[in-house]
A = this chain, B = another copy of it.
Amino acid sequence: MTYCVGLCLKDGLVFLSDTRTNAGVDQIGTFRKMSIFQNANDRFFAIMSSGNLAITQSVKEILLQGQLFKGKNLWTAKNSYEAATVVGDAIKQVYERDHLALEQSGFEFNCNMIFGGQVKGEKPRLFNIYSAGNFIEATPENCYFQIGESKYGKPILDRVLNFTTPLNLATKCALISMDSTLKSNISVGLPLDMLVYEKNSLKATKLVTLDSANPYFAMIHQLWGEKLREAFNSIAEPSWSGAHKSSDISIPAKKMGAVIINHPPSKAQMAKLRTTCKASKPVKKVASKKAVAKKKA
């Protein structure tokens, strides 16, 4: 599996990806899921991928070769939107080549990408590109995309992140999101590729590959669990007696009654159940014999 998260914020972009791949539990690998395209004169792009590795590597190769789609590649696209269509076209090309054979082998054409960057004169932009090569763009209201094993790491993003979050805080947030995913799912693993793109820089100024010995990630890994437990302990326990009004858990919902408590059937009912059960047994056996006879015939 994979976990990648991309953030599109007021001050720039943040990309974070893990490097674990697996085909079954007995075939675990380490493959990089982030690629960077940089022309410091006029453009900067990064792409992260999840899904079938054979597909995503082919897409990456087509982009690296600079193959032209309608005369455009990542180096000549007029803007980030056009660059996203180039990525989409590369996916469509691999689809044309492989999808029939994949279907015949019982595999889905599975390929998801987070693609973003900046072309000089434009603001930084971020896209979530799907298996069909179509895509959506991040907005100030929906400023992050996740691909792969996304659910474990979503709550922290939903709680602390918004479009105006400074890049350094957003970096911390992305790493905590990744740490929660690593903690709860072994199909996501270290090392991590972390890229912080500062608006208008048109280059990868903050780029690092982190393993468990990285001082900052080690600190996050240790401290976040502790801080969570502290936060947990600081919240009052429920009061079932209603003695503490602010933590009274005993007030029932208004529109829905309580769960019904079912009690055992009476002796007469149980006797009837036993009779029904006994009576129905021979009937079943006969039916079963008939069915066997039919089968033999």
Output the least CB separation between A222 and chain B (Å). 10
* Partner among B176, B193, B208 whose Cβ is within 8 Å of the Cβ of A249: B208
For residue A239, which residues in chain B have a CB less than 8 angstroms away from its CB? 216
A256 & B223 in contact (Cβ 8 Å cutoff): no
Is there contact, CB below 8 Å, between A238 and B32? no
- Interface code A32-53, partner B: CB below 8 Å = 1, 0 otherwise? 1011111100000000000000
Q: Which of B64, B171, B196, B224 contacts A231 (CB 8 A)?
A: B224
State the Cβ distance, A217 to closest chain B Cβ, in Å. 7
A260 adjacent to chain B (CB < 8 Å): yes
Chain B, residue nearest A70 (CB): B277
Interface residues of chain A, those whose CB is within 8 Å of chain B, are 19, 30, 32, 34-39, 64-68, 71, 73, 75-76, 149, 151-152, 154-156, 158-160, 168-169, 171-173, 175-176, 180, 183-185, 190-191, 193-196, 204, 206-211, 213-217, 219-220, 223-225, 227-232, 234-240, 245-265, 269-270, 273-274, 277
Cα–Cα distance between A180 and B19 once the two chains are bound (Å): 27
Say yes or no: B183 contacts A19, CB within 8 Å. no
Q: A30-B256, A237-B172, A273-B66 are in contact. Are A265 and B75 (CB under 8 A)?
A: yes
Q: Which label, helix, strand, loop or mixed, suits the secondary structure of the A interface?
A: mixed
Residues of B within 8 A of A215 (CB): 245-249, 251
Contact B262 A37 (CB under 8 A): yes
Cross-chain contact A273 with B73 (CB below 8 angstroms):
yes
Q: Which residues of B contact A76 (CB under 8 A)?
A: 270
Q: Which residues of B contact A211 (CB under 8 A)?
A: 253-256
